[in-house]
Structure 1
């Protein structure tokens, strides 16, 4: 019997991962997990005990205590888009009987704790030295959010936070298969007339999800059915190494129109608001590389772009929405706005220009 046959499944996975790293030194852990047919948490769990410490599943309390450590880099992503903000947490508010939480300010997140199942303190040896992070996963082993210690993080406060939430007796970690893909609605069953009536009656963008639920329709199918007045599909441009996002980012950079980038997954939505300074295309990735904010969008995996309008008490609100081939929303861009304020005229002009450029 050879050594490979005697190896445990965990050891065999470790050998496969090392071989993949040798062949692709720059591969990201999420991509590696996909290629190996496992979850990202499966790979994180291969780290030696001195580099990996489980956290108690008191995630709401931990997030409330993040303000003590000062600046950190927070990262949320889905399959196509990565959203990174470096800033300090302000007040983190928990509601919905502990099921939801939010922070506003320099760190702007909406958190859905029912999706949070596992957390770890992770240490990694990288070129710059030891890198520390808090990493959170759902029950399927999909990464929800990662919080990295940075140079300006309060070292003593960080160590105290890790010690306070470190689990002394953690049960074995179980991963419950892959997340069930989004089930798309059957277009033939959608009452398009009723959907349009309800859409036109919207008064708050936050009521949009509840409206979709009443109609039993997923977001992308609703956009495809409601008509161009409210949702117009935009023809993409350039193939794998250019996109609608390239055009929009360059336009808002030139006009200095402040925008809001929303990126999320089932456990979190992370938001950044500001002026775009440095958009840059790198192969299939369109990036924003600004101080305190990075966005990385693999536009080759985005199949649908929509200009979307929603009526509210503050007037019509316009967004650019991106969807992957599974029908998941992966990126939303708005003009900068707070509740009670109308949409920026400059943002509406930018979206009108984008639509006219693409659709004539």
Structure 2
């Protein structure tokens, strides 16, 4: 991961020439000029430089390397369901200050035979169907482990871009209503090409206009003042949690943010860390070969990695895991705080950015119904405190 350098005067001059040549330079022309000067610039950084969303910038390729896909209603879920047949893929999920990349094969969910259901289970069919819709028929556990909120998937594209070596690089790319990238899939098997092409043909949007309009992101809602929170009730509810998954419901019930919950937590349930503790955590997990779980999401999808990591390394502004089938990139310069968090007998480590948004969280890998490994608890206790 490389940080974008300051836009050189040469680019500014090129854009002025384009503007003078044909009135105002089109977005496609401005994008072309930027790539000429900086051929390695990442599209997300380029979009920020050009003052547009990544989806708008990608859409300039419609008609050549990009195909717009249907994205209304259940379309994103059905595209992801079909993507289960692509074989080995690289799945990439990101937020503003973190990127998680996993290469592997997604697990399909086996449908439950009707005769295996008892009366009690049958009564839960509606709930089960809703859950099936959210998981798109798979992606639970295994190498590609995802949790979806499809209501926030608003734009979808298929990309077939020839690389410098002449090999076509294919991908499915999804964006939220503001044009921010939420998830991308890159097929890695030659056998997946036919599946990809059929998927693109079946989900091709009838409108292949390259001009994509997206609304500006609404200002972030103001956090509820601590004085207006029933802290005593919140702390009691925290202590009474029987499952860590109940935490999100608590946040909704008390109308507070995750970072605010860290401040208002019961005594002994959280410990503030220095932001640089993320390096210690990753380095020690690699050194000890301690299996960890990494959760990174953006409100539309969460991607989870479970296993051992090996190679950690710094790059300008970022700290990374660089293993063959798993990459994690964290913009540590944007980290404001970290926390060791204890909920329902489970210990996690969470990191927040300067805007108060959670970037990434970590857990120790444990068997269902078994206590968390002591080695994980010991590692969290040794992290540098804030």
- How far the C-alpha of 1:161 sits from its partner, in A, is 2.3
Spell out, residue by residue over 1:272-317, the C-alpha distance to the aligned partner (whole angstroms, 9 max, x if none): 1110111111121111111211111110011111111101xxxx11
> Which residue does the alignment assign to 1:194?
233
Structure 2 residue runs without a partner (length 5+): 1-16, 111-127
Map 1:122-271 to 2 at 5 A: 122-128=159-165, 129-151=167-189, 154-169=192-207, 173-181=212-220, 183-227=222-266, 229-236=268-275, 243-271=276-304
Give 1:61's match in structure 2, choosing from 70, 78, 85.
Answer: 78
Unaligned runs of 5+ in 1: 237-242
- How many pairs align? 345
Distance 1:90 1:8, change over 3 A: farther
* SS across alignment from 1:176: coil
1:202, 1:135 → 2: CA distance?
Answer: 37
Deviation digits for residues 236-295 of structure 1 (CA, Å, limit 9, x no counterpart):
3xxxxxx21111111111111100010101110000111011111112111111121111
**Of the candidates 327, 349, 372, which is equivalent to residue 343 of structure 1?**
372
Aligned residue number for residue 35 of structure 2: 21
Q: Which deviates the most, 178-187 or 276-285? A: 178-187
Alignment check: 8 A CA contact 1:82 1:263 kept: yes
- Post-superposition shift, 1:358? 3.4
Cα deviation, 1:71-123, whole Å, max 9, x if unaligned, reads 01110000111000111122159853776226221110001110011111112
1:307 counterpart = 2:340: yes
Within 1, Cα distance between the matches of 2:318 and 2:176?
A: 26
- For residues 174 and 372 of structure 2, what CA distance do their matches in structure 1 show? 35
Shift of 1:173: 4.0
Q: Which residue, out of 93, 107, 113, partners 1:76?
A: 93
User: How far does the alpha carbon of each residue in 1:185-241 deviate from its partner, in whole angstroms, 9 at most, with x for none?
Assistant: 3222222222111110111111111111111111101101225511221123xxxxx
| Alpha-carbon contact 1:264-1:330 (below 8 Å) kept | yes
Q: Point out the structure with max Rg over C-alpha.
A: 2
Give the 3-state SS of the residue equivalent to 2:361 in structure 1.
strand
Q: Out of 97, 100, 108, which is 2:134 matched to? A: 100
For residue 178 of structure 1, report the CA deviation from its aligned partner. Answer: 2.0
Shift of 1:126: 2.8
Q: In the alignment, which of 309, 320, 323 is matched to residue 349 of structure 2?
A: 320
Residues 77 and 173 of structure 1, relative CA distance in 2, 3 Å threshold:
same
1:71 touches 1:152 (CA, 8 Å); kept in 2? no
Q: Which moved more, 1:92-101 or 1:296-305?
A: 92-101
Instruction: Evaluate the alpha carbon distance shift between residue 222 and residue 143 of structure 1 in structure 2; reply closer, same or farther with a 3 A threshold.
Output: same
- Quick one: structure 1 residues 22 and 184, their matched pair in 2 at CA, closer, same or farther if it must change by over 3 Å? farther
* Aligned counterpart, 2:66: 52
Per the alignment, residue 240 of structure 1 pairs with: none
1 CA distance for matches of 2:161 and 2:257?
A: 39
CA distance 1:179–1:293, shift in 2 (3 Å): farther
- Relative to structure 1, the CA distance from residue 211 to residue 88 in structure 2 (aligned partners, 3 Å threshold; closer, same or farther) is same
> How far apart in 2 are the matches of 1:302 and 1:31?
19
Alpha-carbon displacement from aligned partner over 1:115-147 (angstroms, at most 9, x marks no partner): 011111112233243211000111111111000
Q: 1:41 to 1:51 in 2, by over 3 A?
A: same
* Match among 338, 350, 358 for residue 329 of structure 1: 358
Kindly state the Cα deviation for residue 177 of structure 1 after the two structures are TM-superposed.
1.5
Q: State the Cα deviation string for residues 146-181 of structure 1 (Å, max 9, x = none).
A: 001224552222222222222344577431212543
